[in-house]
Amino acid sequence: MLNKNAQERPSVAQILQMPIVRQKMIDFVNNGGLTSSGGGPSSGIYIKNNPTLIKQQSLKPQQPAAKVYNEEEELAKLTPKERMAKKKELETLRKIEEAKNYAVQASQNYAKAQEMKY
């Protein structure tokens, strides 16, 4: 497989037919996506021989599940056009609130910097 000459390297189909690769694929499926080195999609840990995707932290504040569910329930009752307008309105309100929070934080940072100056 590690040959500079492409003509001497096996194709992907030939590699997938190799007994060791087939056995590893069977083990992977039987273990529900886990490899022999542990970890897995839900572990959130990076293992060199078993890379996994790490969930990104959301910058949005977490809302209670009940509130999110009720909003989704309300949106489901609207027509597609009304639903899109409502989603845009909610997104605009969220951005306004986020901008207010940034402004407050910037003001606090500025005041702190002025205190440190003197």
pLDDT of residue 101: 92
What pTM was computed for the model? 0.35
pLDDT digits (tens, 9 = 90+) for 31-87: 877 765 554 455 444 455 555 555 555 555 555 555 555 677 777 788 889 988 988
| Mean pLDDT score of the chain | 76
pLDDT of residue 30: 83
- The pLDDT, as a whole number, for residue 27 is 85
37 exposed, middle or buried (CB, 10 Å; 0-12, 13-18, 19+)?
Answer: exposed
**Residue reference for tokens 């209670």:** 64
**CA torsion sign, 52 to 58 to 63 to 67?**
negative
In angstroms, rounded to a whole number, what is the distance separating the alpha carbons of residues 41 and 90? 32
Domains of the chain, by residue range, sit at: 1-54, 65-117
